[in-house]
Amino acid sequence: MSARLLQTVQKFPVKKHLLLSQLPILVYSYPSYGLRYYSLCEKTHKNCIREKLLRRFLTYTTVFVSGIIFTIKNLKDEKNFFNDVKNAIIPRVCAINIPDYVDNRNKNNFIADVVEITAPSVVYIELKDTKRMDFFTGKPIITSNGSGFIVKADGLILTNAHVVMAKPNSNVNVFVRLQDGNAYQGIVEDVDLHSDLATVRINKKDLPVMKLGTSSKLRPGEFVVAIGSPLSLNNTITSGVISSVNRQSEELGLHDKHMQYIQTDAAITFGNSGGPLVNLNGEVIGINAMKVTSGISFAIPIDYAKDFLKNAEERKRQQGKLMNGLNEPVKRRYLGITMLTLTSDIINDMHHHGGNLPLIRHGVLVWKVIFGSPAYLCGLKPGDIITHLNGQQIKSSTDVYKVLEKGGRIRLSIVRNDTTLQLEVEPEEP
């Protein structure tokens, strides 16, 4: 028996430490030896039947354990075996119990996706009067500023007409600043005072072009993004929804326009004029035009701009020269404001949002004052409401134009917040 045990041990490879998996083989090789030793000790106290049951139990257990050890021993590497088991079981458990990570930041930031596409095509436009110098800097005074966007890669830019319109007896230069910070001198190519649209061209090629959408299929409640340069802070982003898709110009007191406007609650501040109003596909559906009060702003539908661009291209091709409409004589004196007639609906909305305004039944809202203009020098501010001129009630912008056609100084009665003020201004002669 000792010789048999010695032969078995010699078959094992010589190692510094005996693997635990090799021990059951010894038990399997000598089950009878162990049982005989056990039976000698137990025969004096146990009967033969219990000895047989114990022998069978040890035999079956040894065979079962030895079979498992034999399988593991035949693997090339025991560590790889357990790794295979881990890789097969753990991922399945994790897939059931641990949900996949959801990247909501990149999935739901649709406004940021729109801005990433459209912002490179938005520009800042600035008009400087070379005849007037700033007292402190000695540089030309900025008479107007606004926004625009590139519609052709060869440098054609679309904006509002009131952004690039120069006042009489002034010598202005148009400057355009791109998103990358580079500035170029621009030339006003075409102007349409009726639709308040204009084009400016700069000497720059291969520019990113804004995609033009359509305004005929807009729906109230659609998300929109307004991009512009309020207070000369270019590429400022605001968002909101479309409040109305066809607000008639007569409802806004603009009886000489006969146009439809897009009403939105996206914040459009002074300097946003001419910038794009885009949908979630990154398409321009309107040109930011004016702000009445908080939550009420208007944009010119892009379909008007498409017709304007088409007609401007046709005129350029037939005439072979730029439009000279800016050189036509001006019949009215210059005041230096952009105004909006207050209708009953607008007045009700202003009372709802403003709260502190007194009961106003008529007037025009001053929503932009040109820096250095007579209106600016007399103290008129954006947001003022002109109710009387020279003692006469003002019910629309037409009444203001009639007064400007006459000579002499003008006395203004205005409402600023909850206070009534009296101002006096001397408009510039044409």
Instruction: Look at residue 91 and tell me whether its pLDDT is greater than 60.
Output: no
Choosing from 66, 121, 147, 162, which is the catalytic residue?
162
Q: How confident is the model at residue 27 (pLDDT cuts 50, 70, 90)?
A: very low
Handedness of CA 151, 152, 154, 160 (dihedral sign): negative
Q: Tell me whether the CATH fold assigned to 212-306 matches the one assigned to 329-425.
A: no
pLDDT reported for residue 255: 57
CA dihedral sign of residues 81, 83, 84, 89? positive
What percent of the chain stands above pLDDT 90? 23
Is 349 among the catalytic positions?
Answer: no
Q: What is the residue type of 370? A: I
Position 262 scores a pLDDT of: 92
Q: Mean pLDDT check: name the lowest of 70-84, 100-114, 262-276.
A: 70-84
Residue 26 has pLDDT above 80, yes or no: no
162 classed as catalytic: yes
One CATH from 2.40.10.10, 1.10.1070.11, 1.10.4190.10, 2.60.40.1180 for 212-306: 2.40.10.10
Instruction: Kindly tell me if the per-residue pLDDT of 99 is higher than 60.
Output: no
Q: Between these two residues, 287 and 418, which has the higher pLDDT value?
A: 287
Which pLDDT score, from 0 to 100, does residue 37 have? 45
pLDDT number for residue 357 = 62
Average confidence (pLDDT) over 134-157 = 86
Domain 111-202 CATH superfamily: Trypsin-like serine proteases (2.40.10.10)
Indicate which residue of 129, 192, 196, 399 is catalytic: 196
| pLDDT tens, residue by residue, 363-375 | 888 878 888 788 8
Give the angle subtended at the CA of 131 by the CAs of 203 and 143, to the nearest 5°: 65
Q: What tokens appear for 2 in the block?
A: 């000792």
Annotated active-site residue 45? The verdict is no
Mean pLDDT of the chain: 76
Stretch 91-109: mean pLDDT = 60
Answer for the pair 43, 11: CB distance below 8 angstroms, yes or no.
Answer: no
Question: pLDDT: is 85 or 110 the higher one?
Answer: 110
Q: Give buried/exposed letters for 280-304 (b at 16+ CB in 10 A, else e).
A: eebbbbbbbbbbbbebbbbbbbbbb
Report, as an integer, the average pLDDT of 334-343.
Answer: 83
Q: How many CB atoms lie under 10 A from the CB of residue 371?
A: 15
Which residues, including other chains, have CB under 8 Å from residue 398's CB and lie 6 or more apart? Answer: 255, 256
Strands (E), 255-318: 260-264, 276-278, 283-293, 296-301
The answer to whether residue 144 scores a pLDDT higher than 70 is yes
Report the distance separating Cα 300 and Cα 212, nearest Å.
13
Domain ranges of the chain: 2-97, 111-202, 212-306, 329-425
Would the pTM count as exceeding 0.85? no
Pick the CATH number of 329-425 from 3.40.630.10, 3.40.640.10, 3.40.50.11030, 2.30.42.10: 2.30.42.10
Determine the pLDDT at residue 418: 78
Range with the largest mean pLDDT of 134-143, 176-185, 225-234, 396-405: 176-185
